[in-house]
Structure 1
Amino acid sequence: MNPHPPVTSDTSKAVTPQALREQYEGGATVDELVTASGLSYGTVLNRLHDAGTVMRTSWQTRRMRQNPQARQRLAARLRTLYEQHGATLTELATAAGETRRGARRLLIEAGGTVRTTHQTLRMRTAARAAERHKLAVSLRGRYEAGATVPELAREHSYSVATVYRLLHQAGTPMRPQHNHGPTRREGQRP
């Protein structure tokens, strides 16, 4: 036995396909039309199709209901993160509270172009090299101002060997090493 018989009153006939289409195109969902009209889900869908309604996906409905200016700002922010900071689609999705597909869609809406994984790796490698060069130049400046290699290593939490390598990469002229041990007299063995 059917607990909810279909609605066959005059009100169901008063809800015309064109009226449903106008409400749907105004942003209402099928579920909302079902609730408002008292019609079954299938009847609402059939009437929408009869009226020639172009159906939306759920993400298109969400996008339609969002504040367009807020969406544009979010898309622009994601594009900046993607293009200038080398963020991945996964990182964009986390920043936007979206899925990877949603983040990709926002990026494209903002005029961005999606990179390949290889391009992202290359971009990140270049960024790391630039940061390392910047650090090497900074260490050179401190070294030439009188700081010692062990002091620089402690300040930056690097090994002494890493600091030497960075100083050499920056083309730093090294100071002569001094023997800080006890003085040796001539004729004594080392």
Structure 2
Amino acid sequence: MNPEPPVTADASELATPESLRKRYESGATVAELVAASGLSYGTVLNRLHEAGTEMRTSWQTRRMRQDPQARPRLAAHLRTLYEQHGATLTELAAGAGETRRSARRLLIEAGGTVRTTQQTLRMRAAARAAERHKLALSLRVRYEAGATVPELATECNYSAATVYRLLHQAGTPIRPQHRHGPARREGKRP
């Protein structure tokens, strides 16, 4: 390994892993960091990796330079999806064309806080319960307007038992079931 050239006080501040990472994430290329710091290409790469930098491709650098506000906008959008819609880091990464790690970093840059798996599961369960309650209320309105349980089941693609359960959860008074067979005459036995 080649010894590093002596650096001045200003250049030594530029050569720390964190300062290299900051400059890289703001759009500088590795070659530009090499020229500014006086370090070798390999040393700059090692320090970037040491600082936990998510490396990008040349096309990502070009895209970033074309629109310098793209990264902050993406970070804000990912935070909105994460906090308001309950998306996971994996879903954010897939949607943004990034890795989980870079999606996490973008979320933190935008001021977001990373949830635990249990928090995400509870959040999604609460959202499902709210949707189910909303469905139960809409079924109640349609049932009270005269729709039958079999009709509602067909429309919603649920079983009749599920529709009854949802109506019960919504506090719907159930109409008596009608017998659709032949009418019985009183006094006569079959």
For normalisation by structure 2, the TM-score amounts to 0.71
1:28 Cα deviation after fit: 4.0
Instruction: Read off the aligned partner of 2:139 and give its amino acid letter.
Output: L
Superimposed CA distance per residue, residues 71-98 of structure 1 (whole angstroms, 9 cap, x where no aligned partner)? 1111111111111111100000001100
Which of residues 38, 55, 59 is equivalent to 1:48? Answer: 38
* Structure 2 CA distance for partners of 1:178 and 1:121, relative to 1, 3 Å: same
**Distance in 2 (alpha carbons) for counterparts of 1:92 and 1:160:** 37
Aligned partner of residue 38 in structure 2, secondary structure: helix
Task: Tell me the equivalent position of 1:97.
Answer: 97
Gaps of 5+ in 2: 1-6, 15-19
Task: Tell me the equivalent position of 2:28.
Answer: 27
Superimposed CA distance per residue, residues 106-165 of structure 1 (whole angstroms, 9 cap, x where no aligned partner)? 100111000000000000000000000000000001001111100000000000000000
Q: Determine if contact 2:29/2:61 at 8 Å carries over to the other structure.
A: no
- Measured on the aligned residues, the alpha-carbon RMSD in Å equals 3.1
Structure 1 segments (4+ residues) deviating >3 Å: 53-65
**Distance in 1 (alpha carbons) for counterparts of 2:161 and 2:55:** 56
Task: Tell me the equivalent position of 2:71.
Answer: 71
Task: Tell me the equivalent position of 2:54.
Answer: 59
**Which protein is bigger by CA-based radius of gyration?**
1
Superimposed CA distance per residue, residues 7-34 of structure 1 (whole angstroms, 9 cap, x where no aligned partner)? xxxxxxxxxx89xx79x9793423x79x
Q: Determine if contact 2:54/2:101 at 8 Å carries over to the other structure.
A: no
Gaps of 5+ in 1: 1-16, 34-43
Q: Determine if contact 1:27/1:61 at 8 Å carries over to the other structure.
A: no
1:174 Cα deviation after fit: 1.0
1:114 is aligned to 2:104: no
Count of aligned pairs:
156
Q: Determine if contact 1:82/1:92 at 8 Å carries over to the other structure.
A: yes
For normalisation by structure 1, the TM-score amounts to 0.71
1:59 Cα deviation after fit: 3.3
**Distance in 2 (alpha carbons) for counterparts of 1:61 and 1:150:** 56
Percent identity between the two aligned chains? 71
**Distance in 2 (alpha carbons) for counterparts of 1:143 and 1:120:** 34
Instruction: Read off the aligned partner of 2:79 and give its amino acid letter.
Output: R
1:179 Cα deviation after fit: 1.3
1:178 Cα deviation after fit: 1.4
